[in-house]
Amino acid sequence: MKFEIKYYDTIGKVCYYTIQLEGKEENETALFFKRFIEDERFSQDVAEIRALLLTMGRFGAREQRFHFRGQRARFARYAQ
């Protein structure tokens, strides 16, 4: 599956990027929000994601602000 990493938006100090799959009109971020933003079952989850993105934009996305626990901790070492 071919894809491109494309600029999505800038909020404060952080530039956000998204994945654009070859042959798709919309990027993965737009598809995610379309799927979940209007579904009442996920309103709290979407609000938390939005708050995190805005906080990262305000203060910057520095590694020391991220806390990896559980399964995510195993994948964190590969991102370095």
What does the chain look like in DSSP terms, one character per residue? --EEEEEEEEETTEEEEEEEETT-SS-HHHHHHHHHTT-GGGHHHHHHHHHHHHHHHHH---GGG----THHHHHHGGG-
Torsion of CA 80, 70, 14, 16, to 10 degrees: 90
How many structural domains compose the chain?
1
Provide the residue-wise pLDDT of the chain in tens; the chain has 80 residues.
Answer: 899 999 999 999 899 999 999 999 999 999 998 899 889 999 999 998 888 888 888 888 777 766 666 655 444 444 44
pTM across the whole model:
0.68
Residue 28: give the domain boundaries: 3-79
Q: What is the pLDDT of residue 76?
A: 46
